[in-house]
């Protein structure tokens, strides 16, 4: 729940625990009081005015934090870090691939995180702080938020992989009109997620090499592991996308084979009945001189001849292995 206008929550971090803070505490905070973490709603006008006029952040950083469309990115200096990451949308009724952005700014003594839609990875950190197991420094917080984002992402990627397995098993048994939307949905989901996870992999990989005074070597080791996990997720998404494409190709081939078999059967039927139709058409013209018009057995003879002719055609097609 929000602590004030645009302030979702704020804590003074110390030894894994945190003291809740409001706007008044934020505005009177000094670095000697501990590491300050502020979690803000960037769509709120109060937040905008505070960030532009009172936060001490430069205009370029503020513009990046308020940008409407964001992709994972990193901008660092020896004292501060601007980091934008994405997490799966785990909000009720939302699509997981509709990934939500978390905008973050760090220095040694202050952490500012911003979002508009709820990010459950942040909720995880809040619960850890309230349980006395939260971060106690800026680099510790950075490692924790990166891990929480990847942990929640892993469940969705695993589900995509399982769905790809199911589609491969269903391609020979499921009706095509049921299977096609499922394949299309899987491919759309993998493409949407990869759009953000791939650059996030690159951002985390680059973060390990940034020269930031307060980012410890231990934190870089943990971030390296997070980067590796993200890279594996990208590989899993690529594999799921390729498997969905192969499944789609198998389905198309199966439908093509069914269509060809149907057309082949129709062609055989046409080949058998076309000459029969020609004969019956000739015998059906209403002109003088038609043979058998005065004979009561002429119709039976004609039918018998047509049957014999059809049987001969069938035998010829059978010998030529056309049927």
Q: Model pTM?
A: 0.75
pLDDT at 254: 79
Instruction: Look at 126 and 99; give whichever has higher pLDDT.
Output: 126
Instruction: Look at 296 and 259; give whichever has higher pLDDT.
Output: 259
Q: Which helix (H) or strand (E) holds 7?
A: strand 7-14
pLDDT at 70: 80
pLDDT at 288: 64
Please say whether the beta carbons of 119 and 102 come within 8 A: yes
- pLDDT band at 301, cuts 50/70/90? confident
Within 10 angstroms of residue 301's Cβ, the number of other Cβ atoms is 11
Mean pLDDT over 44-68 rounds to 88
pLDDT in tens, 32-48: 888 999 999 988 888 99
Mean pLDDT over 252-274 rounds to 82
Computed over every residue of the chain, the mean pLDDT equals 85
pLDDT in tens, 189-238: 888 888 889 999 999 999 888 889 999 999 999 999 999 999 999 999 99
pLDDT at 253: 82
pLDDT at 1: 42
- Say if 94 falls within a structural domain: yes
- Say if 287 falls within a structural domain: no
How far apart CA 207 and CA 227 sit, in angstroms, is 9
Q: Identify the three-state secondary structure at position 208.
A: coil
pLDDT in tens, 120-147: 889 889 999 988 888 989 999 999 999 9
- pLDDT band at 260, cuts 50/70/90? confident
How far apart CA 17 and CA 35 sit, in angstroms, is 11
- Say if 320 falls within a structural domain: no
What's the structural domain count of the chain? Answer: 1
**Rounded to an integer, what is the distance from CA 110 to the centroid of its chain?**
34
- Say if 261 falls within a structural domain: no
CATH number (domain holding residue 172): 3.30.460.20
- Say if 187 falls within a structural domain: yes
Mean pLDDT over 236-263 rounds to 85
- Say if 308 falls within a structural domain: no
- pLDDT band at 246, cuts 50/70/90? confident
First to last CA, the chain: 73
- Say if 193 falls within a structural domain: yes
- DSSP secondary structure string, 44-85? SHHHHHHHHHTS---HHHHHHHH-SS---EEEE-SS-EEEEE
- Say if 80 falls within a structural domain: yes
Is the pLDDT at 2 greater than 60? The verdict is no
pLDDT at 281: 77
Q: How far is CA 156 from CA 71, 135, 152, in A?
A: 20, 26, 7
- pLDDT band at 74, cuts 50/70/90? very high
Q: What is the largest CA-CA distance in the chain?
A: 122
What range defines the domain where residue 31 resides?
7-254
């Amino acid at each position: 729940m929000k602590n004030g206008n645009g302030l979702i929550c704020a804590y003074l971090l110390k030894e894994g625990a945190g003291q809740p803070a409001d706007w008044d505490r934020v505005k009177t905070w000094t670095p000697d009081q501990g590491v300050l973490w502020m979690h803000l709603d960037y769509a709120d006008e109060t937040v905008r005015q505070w960030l532009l006029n009172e936060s001490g952040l430069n205009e370029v950083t503020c513009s990046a934090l308020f940008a409407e469309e964001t992709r994972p990115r990193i901008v660092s200096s020896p004292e501060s870090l601007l980091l934008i990451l994405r997490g799966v949308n785990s909000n009720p009724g939302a699509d997981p691939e509709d990934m939500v952005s978390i905008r973050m700014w760090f220095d040694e003594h202050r952490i500012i995180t911003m979002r508009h839609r709820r990010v459950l990875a942040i909720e995880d950190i809040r619960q850890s702080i309230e349980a006395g197991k939260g971060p106690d420094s800026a680099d510790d917080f950075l490692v924790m938020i990166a891990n929480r984002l990847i942990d929640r992402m892993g469940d969705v990627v695993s589900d995509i992989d399982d769905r790809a397995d199911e589609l491969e098993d269903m391609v020979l048994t499921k009706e095509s009109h049921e299977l096609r939307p499922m394949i299309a949905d899987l491919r759309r989901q993998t493409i949407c997620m990869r759009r953000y996870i791939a650059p996030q992999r690159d951002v985390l990989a680059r973060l390990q090499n940034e020269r930031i005074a307060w980012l410890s070597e231990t934190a870089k080791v943990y971030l390296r592991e997070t980067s590796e996990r993200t890279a594996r997720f990208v590989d899993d998404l690529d594999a799921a996308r390729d498997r969905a494409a192969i499944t789609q190709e198998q389905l198309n081939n199966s439908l093509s084979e069914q269509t060809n078999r149907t057309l082949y059967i129709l062609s055989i039927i046409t080949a058998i009945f076309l000459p029969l139709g020609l004969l019956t058409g000739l015998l059906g013209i209403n002109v003088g001189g038609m043979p058998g018009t005065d004979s009561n057995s002429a119709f039976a003879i004609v039918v018998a001849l047509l049957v014999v002719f059809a049987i001969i055609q069938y035998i010829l097609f059978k010998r030529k292995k056309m049927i």
